[in-house]
A and B are shown apart, each in its own frame.
Chain A
Amino acid sequence: MTSRYSFGGDEHIFVEVSEDMSLEAFFKSLSITNSVREAQIRGVTEICPANASFQIKFDPDVIHPDDLMTELKRIEETAEHAEAVLATRIIEIPVHYQDPWTNETLMRFRERHQDPESTDIEYAARINGFADVSEFIAAHSGSPWFVSMVGFVAGLPFLYQMVDRPRQIQVPKYLRPRTDTPKLTVGYGGCFSCIYSVRGAGGYQMFGITPMPIYDPAQKVSYLKDFMVFFKPGDIVKWKPISREEYDRDVADVEAGRFMPRMKDVVFSLEAFNRDIDGTNAKLLEALNVR
């Protein structure tokens, strides 16, 4: 992997670690951005890791763009050899697949879709070779997912499926983006799943909805009192399919301040994962399910 550096105007350096998405590219980007943060370079104002790239915002009145570029390249050389091990957490996110709200929305935007005759999830199931939607849901919710980026809008996680590449689900985005997406829609575009943190425009296919808020600027939700954004890069997610009744109960629990997502601290090693993907995932799920 040879990183490609580019200036984004006079205030940003954009670094593409790899054109292709992979956990290797994510960990390299995370490792470099961690090193940049530790280096406390004067003039650096924002450090934004992404899926397979990262971006540094800086004040060119404090550090010359060329000097920062040189410094970043130097940091990349040392960060490259960092061990890809992460102390993180696994979180269970309930999903009501094929819910009435995303269904109503997707019907409104059928003319912007590749296949106006089917729903988003039927389309995704078919083009990925699944016999039916329930098989597709079993695959989407069967393995854990890795939060490889937070962004687009406030607190939205991009999630990368933790299976070998032949088993990864891939779905194109809408032909033209929708102007509306329900809040907390579980979406899909390219190789990424996502959760729309707020209502708004979106181009990802819509599969379902979670009752669990992941962004709360008022900080009233019980588990968002410390900080308004729930996700951070490196979080691991396990989807849990739920019925309409369970969804309604969870929503009521959130409103009453009783809802607490199930989560456990875990350590993730990329090397161990690559050696035995299914075994690593089984251990992660075991940790999640320990009472």
Chain B
Amino acid sequence: MSVKVLSPGLMTTIQDMGRPGYYHLGIPIGGAMDRMALRTANLLVGNDEGAAGLEAVFTGPELEFTGDAVVAVTGADLPPKLDGETMECWTSFAVKSGQVLSFDYLRSGARAYIAISGGIDTPPALGSRSTYAIGALGGVDGRALQADDVLPLGPSAGSAAGRSVPQDLRRTPGNPAELRVLPGLYWHRITEDSGQRFFDETWKVAGEADRMGYRFQGGTPLDFIGREPPFGAGSDPSNITDACYPYGSIQVPGGTEPIVLHRDAVSGGGYFMIGTVISADMDLIGQLQPNTPARFVRTDMHGALAARQDRARMLASVREVLAP
């Protein structure tokens, strides 16, 4: 049982929950940018939550099935079509052998997650099927899908079509999107006024927005507190002696355009960071299109952990709704 790629879409990659444990060598965790969406899609088709599915950016692929399967599409509002007939997002549907799955145009969001019963069964690399294209690791030969790729599927216990999750369990960013940030790391390098302005202003997602990181534009450049450059750092006030970068950390090269590192983050480098987007809001970033207005909202550790618990409760509800 397999799926043949008739056309790949703009950028469609195989993703699961990633490969922890190699960040110290510069190999990032990777995996679905919107993890909750992929988990939900998998549960809808009766897979393990962490099974490998497809992450389609802005446009969908065209896929031909060589056997019967159950499919669900979550995340971005990118309506699936089965032999031309529009199907519901966030709802499982049956696909017969020989049928073709394609997609309508993107209504909202940025990344759709396509789960197929049995899960995609390409060979894992370092414990994960996630595609890390920069390092040519995972996925199909370490790259995004291409026409004529054949994706093997795992065995499936089977699942019912027509299962769905209620609206309040489908998380999407607001407008402006609000990303909660724990200030820290090199926050002390900028003036208090500058830090306050960073939170007060509305930013916009820039064109450079991918699995490695999201760049934001439109706010005022940061004001640095003066210093003697540390040995090895470099002369720009935004330079540091090359260090590790947390996932979600916000670096501001030259003090101008903040970049939030995401699942395929570079593991380190020489730019200072002013804080970190909290774990509960990382999924939202994966659903932001270029030009989307966004606000950074200051929080503290207590707020970050409470938000994380909210997400855990939401996932528990999804599991309960979709329990076999």
Contacts and interface: CB of A to CB of B under 8 A. Distances in A.
Interface of A: 6-12, 14, 16, 18-22, 45-55, 57, 60-61, 65-66, 149-156, 158, 165, 170, 172-173, 177, 189-192, 197-198, 200, 203, 215, 217-218, 229, 232
5 contacts: A50-B243, A51-B232, A60-B279, A152-B268, A172-B235
B135 A11 contact: no
B234 A151 contact: no
B207 interface: no
A200 B134 CA distance: 8
B20 interface: yes
B230 interface: yes
Given A151-B267, A190-B233, A46 B21 contact: yes
B308 to A, nearest CB: 6
A259 to B, nearest CB: 20
Contact of A189 (B234, B246, B278, B280): B234
B27 interface: yes
Nearest to A11: B279
Contact of A198 (B136, B240, B273, B305): B136
B134 A45 contact: no
A9 B277 contact: yes
A154 B135 contact: yes
A21 B25 contact: no
A52 B241 contact: yes
Contacts of B305: 10, 60, 65
A53 B244 contact: yes
Contact of A154 (B27, B184, B231, B277): B27
Give the most central of B125, B132, B241, B275: most A CB within 10 Å. B241
Given A50-B244, A153-B135, A61 B312 contact: yes
Nearest to B254: A176
Contact of A21 (B21, B231, B247, B279): B231
B297 interface: no
Interface of B: 20-21, 23-27, 125, 132, 134-137, 142, 182, 184-185, 187, 230-236, 239-244, 246-249, 253, 266-270, 273, 275-280, 301, 304-305, 308, 312
B201 to A, nearest CB: 21
A7 B279 CA distance: 12
Given A19-B233, A51-B232, A153 B244 contact: no
B120 to A, nearest CB: 18
A46 B233 contact: no
B210 to A, nearest CB: 11
Contacts of A158: 242
Given A7-B182, A192-B232, A217-B135, A150 B249 contact: no
B23 A57 contact: yes
A20 B228 CA distance: 11
A59 to B, nearest CB: 10
A60 B306 CA distance: 11
Nearest to B304: A10
B234 A173 contact: yes
B209 to A, nearest CB: 15
Contacts of B20: 45-46, 57
B100 to A, nearest CB: 32
Contacts of A6: 184-185, 187
Nearest to A8: B246
A16 B241 CA distance: 10
A151 B249 contact: no
Give the most central of B242, B268, B304: most A CB within 10 Å. B242
B284 to A, nearest CB: 14
Give the most central of A19, A46, A49, A153: most B CB within 10 Å. A153
Nearest to A16: B243
Contacts of B301: 7, 10, 65-66
Given A54-B244, A154-B25, A172 B279 contact: no
Contacts of A18: 230, 241
A76 B230 CA distance: 23
A-B pairs with lowest CB-CB distance, top 10:
A21-B232, A8-B246, A9-B276, A55-B244, A151-B267, A154-B135, A12-B246, A19-B230, A151-B26, A10-B304
